Amino acid sequence: MCNCRRTDEDEARELLARLQQTGTVWEVVVAVVRVLNLSASAAAEAIETYLALMGIVVVAVPPDTVRVALDAYDRFGKGRHRRRAGRRDDRKGG
């Protein structure tokens, strides 16, 4: 078990948000090292402990899946496509 300080609920929420926003656990560990001024090994141990306690399983994404996801993002990602002319925008009710 890591000897680093316990995080409060706000820090846990921030950590979870970082995990959801970043692509890898490595990026989260680096961010925790920077923000909490921990050693890389202590930060990695803390992240691994947190993931285990939360029941989060980290899985690798196959390279083919990454390519499909990036292609979809290029075509449909937020702010990456335009509404077709003449098409009704249901979100505005008209």
- The Cα-based distances of 17 to 1, 22, 37, 70, 76 in angstroms read 23, 9, 19, 21, 23
pLDDT along the chain (94 residues), means of 10: 58 69 78 90 92 87 85 81 57 53
Count CA within 13 A, CB hemisphere, residue 39.
6
pTM, to two decimals: 0.49
